[in-house]
Amino acid sequence: MTLHIASILGSWGATSPTYFPSPADLDYANRWLLDLQRTSAGRIAGYVAVNPNFQKHALEQIDHYLGEGMVGVKLAASRRADDRLLDPVCRAAADHHVPILHHVWQHRGRDRPGQEASDAVELVALAERHPDTNFILAHIAGGGDWLHSLRAVRGVGNVHVDLSGSGVDGGMLEACLEAVGVGRLVWGADITLDTGLAKLRHLEHLLSAEDMARIRWQNAAALFGLPPATETAS
């Protein structure tokens, strides 16, 4: 792993809710991550985490931190993905030519306290409104009905599937390949690096070295506008 693309969700619940972080917590977290990026000698790059409910602040954060070298925008669960309140954030990401990583539940069967959890159907509605913005669905292996997500994103070319999460269900990787192909899969680890590496080992039995390179880093390099020689993990 030569480059880690990271995000920090405010104070992680210490001084504002994890999935509804305050502007002050977001500014602190984004500033801390930018400092880490600057001192990492090219090993770490950051997503700008924003809460779209604070729209003016979110757009200011995007303009400032992307201007300082961050490489993407992170949306967690402060607002449902199909809400029109997200439209200005999506336009800003398109203007800066960076992707939006959006956290989803793989088929939200119920509301969850403390968050406006989205699923892939809602993310697809947003992506179809913003065809010039690239979206990363995070995380297909995060638990739940991943077939529901894959059915939703199959024909939506600006939604890319993040393979991270602790799930290692049999048939999941094969279903990802069938639904979106090699070109829309992005390797990632989220919290559990061991299961992320295990997915790569399994994919090596299914794909050529050229296709493995696309999933390991080339697809991500293209999404984030990184030099093609940079091996990347998201």
Residue 93 within a domain: yes
Q: Which residue has 């390991």 as its token pair?
A: 216
**Mean pLDDT, residues 73-88:** 97
Residue 145 within a domain: yes
Percent of the chain with pLDDT over 90: 79
What is the average pLDDT score of the chain?
A: 93
What is the Cα 107 distance to its own chain's centre? 17
Residue 232 within a domain: no
Residue 213 within a domain: yes
Residue 37 within a domain: yes
Domain of 106: which CATH number? Answer: 3.20.20.140
In sequence order, the β-bridge partners of residue 159 are 135
Residue 62 within a domain: yes
Do residues 148 and 53 lie in contact, with contact meaning Cβ atoms separated by under 8 Å? Answer: no
**Mean pLDDT, residues 55-81:** 98
Residue 89 within a domain: yes
Residue 233 within a domain: no
Whether residue 230 has pLDDT greater than 60:
no
Sign of CA dihedral 3, 10, 48, 119: positive
pLDDT digits (tens, 9 = 90+) for 164-200: 998 889 999 999 999 999 999 999 988 778 899 999 9
> 168 by DSSP, 3-state: which?
coil
**Mean pLDDT, residues 81-89:** 98
Whether residue 232 has pLDDT greater than 70:
no
Our count of domains for the chain comes to 1
> Is residue 79 exposed (0-12), middle (13-18) or buried (19+ Cβ within 10 Å)?
buried
Distances (CA, A) of 225 to 65, 216, 230: 16, 15, 10
Backbone phi, psi, residue 97, to 5°: 60, 45
Quote the domain boundaries for residue 44: 4-224
Sign of CA dihedral 81, 86, 87, 93: negative
